Structure 1
């Protein structure tokens, strides 16, 4: 089968429970890639397939899923039922085995509601009266980023304009780029912040000051390589916001200044008139 990887693992030893039986090697062939990506919050099937023997006895079948690095038990099955007394608490009520498919050579395990902490390398071990064999699968987790939210801060016009892009809920940390209309990478001129929230997911805020100040085009690019997610959004800054705002502020300041001066002069004139009237009244008396 084109594009399919197969890993063959020879039997390491025969089951001690069946010392009088002739031992054969089991073969575990994972038809899925050795490394797979699961979406956080969704379910995933960890693949494990083996070559079944026509006369194998299910009563003597033992299947164990565990973490390769720590040997923590993810799920175990023997005596034709799930044996979860030694299951790691992190996987409690989150695994599902398919015993009806053992005769077909399927020992895969379903892991429900994938978490960030589930990223690990898992080992599947299948044993019966004909031998024992193991295979591994590396699980990576990921989450897609939200649609970019674009805002333009008009209050920042006096500092050459501020464009802000916000994306949330993604994993792992994404790559962010800003490209100018001339095709130059201006990412170093942007202020990009990464924050982690509930569940370890990233929120990204990227702020870019318009260096020209009189309108131009930019392209915002976000890449989540693990999911092959790429978002490219173009935006245009039109007009000469800083100049117009400065002119408006200048006119407002001039008008305000003139109003204040006129008010002061009016108050001073009234005070002078009242004072003069008071003096004249005193002279008449």
Structure 2
């Protein structure tokens, strides 16, 4: 009975001997860039029995595998062929972080990092989220007999924060139209401001908090005879 208790105590202690460390907060991946999924473990001097496996959590699809001292990609999911990479120089230091090139919307999700060595086995889950830098806004001026509409068009993801302001900084009412998500992982967005004034000065601001991007454009319009206008 005493031996059983001792064995249970040893196994319980050993369960705490090895652990994998991953970020507790979501990790951002940017469209068409290389995404980095951090994963760290307690290293050992002998790497002969080290096994690193990255998988998608929802379907356990193999994203990248490493054992016998080299990458083992025979069972790698087709979506990740020639796109994933471990830093082999950092592995002996306990770094099992994975890089995914040409990151896209379909790559967003939860990834499981499983590491095994002579000290034990542990796993961690990395939540990878997607964002895209906004494209340069395209300006259009729509003029008719009663009013003028200033409109910007752009690609964006996620849906941006949009603001129109007057020359005194006052908040103006704008209209925002967002199309459905495209295959490229972006929204096509139109935002406009309409006025009946022949002379006006407005500022258009677009914010992408996910990647800390801010675009601001100033427009001055002078309508001379109801048919012609100039931009300041």
TM-score by length of structure 1 reads: 0.67
Equivalent residue, structure 2, for 1:103: 92
Distance in structure 2 (CA, Å) of the matches to 1:139 and 1:148? 27
- 2:210 aligned counterpart, secondary structure: helix
1:43 aligns with 2:29: no
1:206 aligns with 2:191: yes
Equivalent residue, structure 2, for 1:53: 44
Post-superposition shift, 1:118?
0.8
Equivalent residue, structure 2, for 1:152: 141
Post-superposition shift, 1:183?
4.1
Equivalent residue, structure 1, for 2:108: 119
Equivalent residue, structure 1, for 2:177: 192
- 1:159 aligned counterpart, secondary structure: coil
Contact 2:160 2:206 in 1 (8 A): yes
Post-superposition shift, 1:106?
1.1
Distance in structure 1 (CA, Å) of the matches to 2:75 and 2:49? 19
Post-superposition shift, 1:147?
2.2
Q: Deviations over 1:179-232 (max 9, x none)?
A: 2345443335x353435444122222223221x322222221211121111212
Consecutive unaligned residues of structure 1, counting only runs of 5 or more, are 1-18, 246-285
RMSD value, Cα: 2.5
TM-score by length of structure 2 reads: 0.81
Contact 2:176 2:189 in 1 (8 A): no
1:176 aligns with 2:162: yes
Equivalent residue, structure 1, for 2:18: 26
Among 213, 226, 229, the alignment partner of 2:213 is 229
Relative to structure 1, is the Cα distance of residues 104 and 191 closer, same or farther in structure 2, using a 3 angstrom cutoff? closer
Greater Rg over alpha carbons, structure: 1
Equivalent residue, structure 2, for 1:75: 64
Contact 1:80 1:99 in 2 (8 A): no
Relative to structure 1, is the Cα distance of residues 130 and 191 closer, same or farther in structure 2, using a 3 angstrom cutoff? closer
Relative to structure 1, is the Cα distance of residues 106 and 193 closer, same or farther in structure 2, using a 3 angstrom cutoff? closer
Distance in structure 2 (CA, Å) of the matches to 1:98 and 1:230? 33
Which structure has the highest strand share of the two? 2
Distance in structure 1 (CA, Å) of the matches to 2:126 and 2:203? 38
Aligned length: 216
Distance in structure 1 (CA, Å) of the matches to 2:225 and 2:61? 61
Q: Which runs of 4+ in 1 moved over 6 A?
A: none
Which structure has the highest helix share of the two? 1
Consecutive unaligned residues of structure 2, counting only runs of 5 or more, are 1-10
Relative to structure 1, is the Cα distance of residues 98 and 183 closer, same or farther in structure 2, using a 3 angstrom cutoff? closer
Distance in structure 2 (CA, Å) of the matches to 1:101 and 1:216? 58
Post-superposition shift, 1:126?
0.7
Distance in structure 2 (CA, Å) of the matches to 1:148 and 1:115? 22
